[in-house]
Chains A and B, each alone.
Chain A
């Protein structure tokens, strides 16, 4: 777990709260990702920062706001969440290269278990 770390590991918040999830990668990678993992559903890609380009998933509500101040740190700012946002939020990183045949492995953090009351 020392490759990609996430804090906090568990978070309980009310619908009117504002909180932030933090992710840090110690692998020297240049791409970072936020995923949402709900029970019995596939991992859902939320946001990508790759080669300093931000790629958004248009289906993610605006109450989720990512921030990537540098290639090692990634944040997910949360505000006015809904109970259905309760899930495991996973951060991942990889070493991406422009073009070519891609076999880069994504390394995942342990996740933040979020509960919205």
Chain B
């Protein structure tokens, strides 16, 4: 069964600190993995995308890693800011020739405290 599991479910950190969010997936055939950020009351916004041949991808203070062998990904946030408070969703795309089929994780809810 195609699944994406994320940990932790929720996390509270102090402003300026770093944190790492985890994603494990059992999706096949694998096309790519994305991390989305979803602010409260908003739709998800793509942060990074990695194919199976990419190990790491950065977007400002966000750095995602991918280990295709162990089927694990992480999202590292450096020097956190209050605006980083949001849900972070790991999404894996199935490789197919039809429409895009995405498998979503339940997300990690991050709260950055002043």
Residues of A within 8 A of B (CB): 1, 4, 31, 40-43, 45, 48, 50-51, 53, 55, 90-92, 94, 96, 98-111, 113
Contact = CB atoms under 8 A, between A and B. Distances in A.
B43 A92 contact: yes
A51 B104 CA distance: 23
Nearest to A42: B104
A50 B45 contact: no
Interface in B23-78: 31-32, 34, 41-46, 49, 51
B101 interface: yes
Contacts of B97: 98-100
B99 A106 contact: no
B43 A42 contact: no
Interface string B64-99: 000000000000000000000000010001011111
A31 B99 contact: yes
A102 to B, nearest CB: 6
A105 B46 contact: yes
A45 B46 contact: no
26 contacts: A1-B43, A31-B99, A41-B106, A42-B105, A42-B107, A43-B89, A43-B102, A45-B101, A55-B98, A91-B43, A92-B43, A96-B99, A101-B31, A101-B95, A103-B51, A104-B100, A105-B46, A105-B49, A106-B100, A108-B44, A108-B45, A109-B43, A110-B41, A110-B42, A111-B41, A111-B42
